[in-house]
A and B are shown apart, each in its own frame.
Chain A
Amino acid sequence: MSDLGRLEGFLRTDPRDVGCDEALAVLHIYVEVVAAGGDAAGRYPGVAAHLTACGPCAEDFAGLLLAVTSA
């Protein structure tokens, strides 16, 4: 049933997920750790879990990372 993999992944929730507000509050810090090649997911597992599941916050992360690394 590999065709259903995306649905299964979507339905699977991570209890560490901190939600949008907490993730966005530290997004600038998280992005800098990523940009520096650090272990952002290890330092902020709840943020990493959230960015995996939340499309809009993942877009914000990608945009901020691009802004920081292309400056």
Chain B
Amino acid sequence: MERARSPAKGLDDESAGWLRRLGADGGDRQAAERELHARLVRIALTEVRRRSVSSPVTGPELDDVAHQAAGDAMFAILAKLGDFRGESRFTTWAYRFVILEVSSKLGRHYWRNPPVALDAGQWERLPDRFGIDPAGHAEAAGVLAEVRRVVDDELTAHQRRVFVAIVVDGIPLDALATELGLRRNALYKVIFDARRKIRRALVANGYLEESGWEQR
């Protein structure tokens, strides 16, 4: 584990105290680690419950995810203590680790009981994904058909697979990232480029004006 550097000037007292205690030897350090770990567990438990509404992970498995996330976050925090530059309070910096661990672990656990398979291609659910009321389906049908045409004809195979999984089938981005062995940022950029490409095509083909939807 990397030991903390001497507390930087300008740190608030609490942050400086954390760094001092986590960088100490013996009992002080162990007590600080126990206290920090307890906080991370509490935050992780709160976070998995907050996200349980939108996650297929339920019951005791959620608590397992929280404890695993807290443990892994603790390990990462201790390993990266030297990276803390005092741009925020120490605890805010540390809590970020456990929040990101919860995201990552829920993405991984998604595949234990996935509500939809990869490559399912549930295009019929696309109106619901965008909150289009059943009464508006007919009106939206032309635009959505054009979206599908652009996805099929103008996106690359990789863009198409990622777009269908995330946007059409509603697979969480972090879950897809785990399945494909990619980083969240890489998938986000794929979706970003696909969004731009689809929008340009809709504008070019008269379905959308630069400033919004064309009335047609």
Residues of A with Cβ closer than 8 Å to B? 1, 3-4, 6-8, 10-13, 17, 19-21, 24, 26-29, 31-32, 53-57, 59-60, 62-64, 66-68, 70-71
Contact = CB atoms under 8 A, between A and B. Distances in A.
A28 to B, nearest CB: 4
Contacts of A13: 192, 195-196, 199
Contacts of A19: 185, 188-189, 192
What 4 pairs between A and B have smallest CB-CB spacing? A3-B136, A20-B185, A11-B199, A1-B213
Interface of B is mostly: helix
Contacts of B43: 67
A38 to B, nearest CB: 12
Give the contact-size bracket for chain B: 35 or more
B103 interface: yes
Given A11-B199, A63-B102, A56 B215 contact: no
Given A6-B131, A63-B47, A64-B92, 10 more contacts: A4-B213, A7-B143, A7-B144, A10-B195, A12-B195, A19-B188, A20-B188, A29-B87, A64-B95, A66-B50
A4 B138 CA distance: 12
